[in-house]
Chain A
Amino acid sequence: MHILIEGGRVIDPAHQFDAITDLFVAVGRIAGLGYPPAGFKAERVIDARGRIVCPGLIDLCARLREPGQEHKATIATEARAAAAGGITTLVCPPDTDPVIDEPAVVELIRRRAKAAGHARVLTLGALTHRLRGERLAEMAALKDAGCVGVGDGGHPIANTRVLRRALEYAATFDLTVFLTPLDPELGSGLAHEGQVATRMGLSGIPAAAETGIIARDLELVRDLGVRVHFGRLSSARSVELVARAQAEGLPVTADVAVHHLHLSENDLAGFDSRCHVRPPLRGPRDRDALRAGLASDVLGMLCSDHRPHEPDAKQAPFGDTEPGISGLDTLLALSLRLVRDGVLPLPALIERLTWGPAHILGLDRGHLGIGAPADVCVFDPDADWLVTADTLRSRGQNSPFIGWHLQGRVTHTLLEGRVVYEV
Chain B
Amino acid sequence: MLTPEQSVVAAILLCLAGAVLTLLVSRSKTVAGWLAFAITAGSAALVLSAVVPVLTKGPGHPAQFLTMPAVGFALRIYVDGLSSIFLLLAVLVAVPAALYSIRYMKHYADYGVGRYYPHSLLFLAAMYGLLTTTDMMWFFFIFWQLMTLPGYALIRYEHRKPENVRAANKYLVMMQIACAATMVGAWFLAVVGATATGSDSLKYDFDTVSANLPAMLASKPFDTGVAFALFLAGFGIKMGMWPFGQVWLPDAHPAAPSPVSAMLSGVMIKTGVYGLMRYFLWLVPPDAHANYPLANWGWLIAILGTVTLFTGTMQALKQEQSKRLLAFHSIGQIGYILLGTGACMALLPVVEPTGNVRLLAAIAFFGAIFHVLNHGLFKALLFLNAGSMLHATGTQDLNKLGGLIKFMPLTAVTALVASLSISGVPLFNGFASKWSIYVATIQGTGAAKYLAVCGVIAILTSALTLASFIKFFGVSFLSRTSALVKQQAAKRSKLEVCGLMQAPQVFLAVLCVALGVVPALAFQLMGAALNSSRQGFGTALANAAPMTSTPVAGLETVNNTALFAPVALAVVLGLMFLVVRAISKLGGAQRRAAAPWLCGYASEAECHRYVAHNFYGEIKRYFKWLGGSPAKKK
Q: Answer whether A and B are interacting partners.
A: no
